[in-house]
Amino acid sequence: RAPGRYYKAKSKKDDNPEEALKDFRAIVEQETEQGDWGFKALKQSTKLLFLTLRRPADALKTYTQLLTYTKSAVTRNYSEKTINGILDYVGGGKGGVVEVDILEQFYQATKVALEDAKNERLSAKTNLKLAKLWLDRKEYARLSKLIRDLHRATAQDGDGDESQPQRGTQLLEIYALEIQMYNETRNFKKLKEIYNATNAVRSAIPHPRIMGVIKECGGKMWMGERQWNKASEDFFESFRSYDEAGSPQRIQVLK
């Protein structure tokens, strides 16, 4: 039976990953219809292939298969948790050096599956994760394009209504990515534009880390303009936000 076979395969993961992989594949192949154990087996296979065996292209295949289960075989809650977990380690650099194209395909496959499942919320979160990845890797051309897509999607969601907290929050997340990009590429004219736009967003409930980023870049901007009072105000706000978020970034701001 599937549960027994699943736990047996799982016990081989550390000592004999190839064998475990075969066993997980057998569970999926022997399913008469998509169910919980097949999903779990694909989840384990993806992790093994990506993190242990360092075969990202094969991990992408099992992940793409796993995504077909998210329509009906498992609960939305469980599939969201799994997708988030996988994208975290895929984007987290723990699987060694991975080609940018393959990374992009992980997110692309996720996007398609989520659009199919009409899961707009997770779709937006996935895009923000990818944008953060492009920022970290200094892939500015890819990032600019994705930011345009994010703005378009956010505008469609809210029909131009600034008052929706969820929409405002998402806007600030996009602006935080933009402001970091312009800070890194030293485009201070655009940085100021985005900084002013962040002040116009009403009724948002952003994560304090997001405000920390925005105010830190604001502080640097004011320093560039020799506006010392405004700079110290923003750096203080930034420190407070990072502190609230428990982010190690707060020490950086004090320097």
Residue 205 has pLDDT above 60, yes or no: yes
Question: Would you list the DSSP string of 23-64?
Answer: HHHHHHHT-SS--HHHHHHHHHHHHIIIIIS--HHHHHHHHH
> Residue range 26-50: average pLDDT?
94
First to last CA, the chain: 60
Q: Domains in the chain and their CATH numbers?
A: 1-118 (1.25.40)
Q: Quickly state the pLDDT bin for 236 (edges 50, 70, 90).
A: very high
Longest dimension (CA), the chain: 71
Quote the pTM value: 0.78
| 52/72: higher pLDDT | 52
Query: Directed axis angle between helix 120-136 and helix 100-116, to 10°?
Result: 170
Q: Quickly state the pLDDT bin for 101 (edges 50, 70, 90).
A: confident
Q: Tell me which amino acid residue 74 is.
A: V
Q: Tell me which amino acid residue 81 is.
A: K
Supply the pLDDT for residue 173. Answer: 93
Specify whether the CB–CB gap between 110 and 87 falls below 8 A: yes
